[in-house]
Amino acid sequence: MSPAFPPRALLRRGLSFVAPGQPLPADRLAFGVPGLDARLMGGIARAALHEIHAAGTADLPAATGLALGLAWRAAGGRPVLWVRQDALGFETGRLHATGLAELGLDPGRLLLVRARDAAAALQAGAEAARCGALGAVILEPFGSPRLLDLTASRRLALAAEASGAFTLLLRSRSVTGASAARTRWQVTSRRSRVLEANAPGQPAFLLRLLRHRGGIGEGEWHVEWDRDQRAFRPASDPSPLADAPPLPGPVAAFPADGPSARRPPGRRAG
């Protein structure tokens, strides 16, 4: 059992890990946000299972961005394997190589495993977590499958600890039940700061630490993803334009599999 630390002593110990000139512990993964890393005593454990929950369906892209950023930082040049249940492709869309590149990530380092159901996803995720050659593993089941209970999460956690593979459990529309994960996070999308010429700003997130098995209490942080540094950083204040109300009425979306010209021609009136 991890020893209990008084809050002030815990913070002082964390600050010692991120003091100028002091190297970060090799067994921990830093976010790149000084205040957050200090609270976590240098970061989150590398050889462990962690959970990332989207606050709502609309926040799943933000949760996915957090998972990808952490996985790439943990991988250190090694491949990242993503196990994804097929049903998610119909509900939330498929992964897009161009989007990964826009985040500053190399799509060639991502290995995607498509699982037909929750049982196949959990089996593939457990086998991947046992592979020390992988830099990181992301397991994304659909919803809240009954098979993903405390026992299943315990298997994933033990596999990650034995192999050293950084393992993330990405959840959408899920119930926060019992889990052996070392930490549990909730992610909410946040308006980014608009850059010059109305260029889109850095992806922004609101991170909330829901549980930490090391005894660290809950907390919230506003962070951005820096694609050039491949690190998170404290979020800038959004510009006034970012607070503008959304456009009235529905907005047509471009098809995901090709240009709009591919749509069958409709009948012209008049």
d(Cα 137, Cα 147) in Å, to the nearest integer?
19
What pLDDT does residue 34 have? Answer: 92
Structure tokens at 240: 């006034």
| Residue 217 included in any domain | yes
d(Cα 177, Cα 2) in Å, to the nearest integer?
22
Q: What is the dihedral of CA 106, 112, 118, 120, to 10 degrees?
A: -150
For residue 158, what are the contacts with CB-CB under 8 A and spacing of at least 6?
Answer: none
| Residue 8 included in any domain | no
What pLDDT does residue 242 have? Answer: 42
| Residue 241 included in any domain | no
| Residue 248 included in any domain | no
Q: Which domain holds residue 158?
A: 25-233
| Residue 17 included in any domain | no
| Residue 42 included in any domain | yes
| Residue 261 included in any domain | no
By the 8 A CB rule, do 224 and 189 touch? no
| Residue 125 included in any domain | yes
Query: What CATH number corresponds to the domain at position 141?
Result: 3.40.50.300
Q: Residue 54: which of 174, 221, 231, 152 has the closest Cα?
A: 174
pTM (2 d.p.): 0.77
Q: For residue 121, give the H/E element and its range.
A: helix 118-129
List the pLDDT tens digit at each of the 270 positions of the chain: 333 333 444 334 443 333 444 444 578 999 999 999 999 999 999 999 999 999 888 899 899 999 999 999 999 889 999 999 988 877 777 778 888 888 888 999 999 999 999 999 999 999 999 999 999 999 999 888 889 999 999 999 999 999 999 999 999 866 667 899 999 999 998 888 777 777 677 889 999 999 999 999 999 999 999 888 888 999 876 544 444 444 444 444 444 444 444 444 444 444
What pLDDT does residue 195 have? Answer: 73
Count of the separate structural domains present in the chain? 1
Q: Helix, strand or coil for residue 223?
A: strand
What pLDDT does residue 33 have? Answer: 92
